[in-house]
Amino acid sequence: MPSSCFHDLIGTPERDALERIGRTRPYTRGEHVFSEAADDGATAIITSGRCRVVSYNDDGPGAYLAVRGKGDIIGEMAAAAHRVAPSW
């Protein structure tokens, strides 16, 4: 089955451009990448490891929306809709 992660769906010129304009930042296990409270429209591409995407509500624990891994993009739906689901 062919890969369908974001990194593999774009071409080399696009990947090179993202590397030039982006920045690399390591995260520790359990550290939040994004928060629902911070609506800055940022996105991230996972270069190693995994990330859980969780949506919280006011009356209870969060719901797991997805698990993302190397080559996947996170925050793209929130950036498009100007809302954020926490990821860590």
pTM: 0.70
Residue type, 47: T
DSSP, collapsed to helix, strand or coil, labels residue 39 as coil
pLDDT tens digits for 11-31? 899 988 888 888 888 999 988
pLDDT tens digits for 37-74? 666 677 888 889 999 888 877 776 778 888 999 889 88
Nearest to 88 by CA among 59, 66, 71: 66
